[in-house]
Amino acid sequence: MRVVIAEDLALLRDGLVRLLSAHGFQVVEAVDNGPSLLMALLRHRPDVAVIDVRLPPTFTDEGLQTALEARRRLPGLPVLILSQYVEQLYARELLSDRSGGVGYLLKDRVGDVEQFVEAVRRVAAGGTAMDAEVISQLLTRRVRDEPLGALTPKEREVLSMMAEGLSNAAIAARLFVTDKAIGKHTNNIFAKLGLPPSEDQNRRVMAVLAYLEAEPG
């Protein structure tokens, strides 16, 4: 699996290269600034990109803006944002194009190497990997009445865990209920959001995006 990494801190960048390489990824390029990132993404067309938000030359939201530009040119490019910050405006735009896997993890909350590696794989496969704190900040607005207003509180709780990238089994374990109960909740969520039967992973992504795109009232 081919990866492009964008991180301006040399020690962290080298650490990510070593970590992903040790887990079977091929790091085709690791860069430290926005312009180099865009060129690397267009040149290599990787299976997934792991990108910091704040890169030179602006040290503001260069990484996210570059990711958006790359996805405009390469629709469906899987992107995992790994940052200390939640940049709400561009994060919502990244999540809203409904094209390819997306993830947003906070550096200081990534405490397990295996979970991080699994998140990279999940995004590369077209899924989502969202930190719960990122979800919380993106949802600091009242959801509109439809379609999310039709969800029960429990269904919304399940959907928030789906946004983190948890499987039905993992959600069931966290809520101390059966897999069957979570399966029922997810089917209800898909039905209420008007998602027709299809490959389950795709419906999960579409449901998560609908959840994260809920507009202010």
Q: How many domains does the chain have?
A: 2
Higher pLDDT, 169 or 213: 169
Same domain for 10 and 104?
yes
| 78 belongs to a structural domain | yes
Domain identity same for 124 and 166: no
- Structural domain boundaries enclosing 169: 148-212
Residue of higher predicted confidence among 99 and 127: 127
Pick the last residue of a domain from 112, 138, 164: 138
Same domain, residue pair 133 and 199:
no
- Specify whether the CB–CB gap between 167 and 205 falls below 8 A: no
CATH label of the domain that carries residue 52:
3.40.50.2300
Average pLDDT, the chain: 85
Q: Which residue has the higher pLDDT, 88 or 17?
A: 17
Position 142 scores a pLDDT of 44
Q: Is residue 217 part of a domain?
A: no
pLDDT at 84: 87
Same-domain pairing of 11 and 88: yes
Question: Which tens digit of pLDDT belongs to each residue from 15-34?
Answer: 999 999 999 999 999 999 99
pLDDT value at 202 more than 90: no
88 and 40, same domain (yes or no)? yes
pLDDT at 81 over 50: yes
- The reported pLDDT for the residue numbered 36 is 96
143: in domain: no
Same domain, 133 and 195: no
| pLDDT tens digits, 102-149 | 899 998 888 789 989 999 999 999 888 888 788 777 665 544 445 677
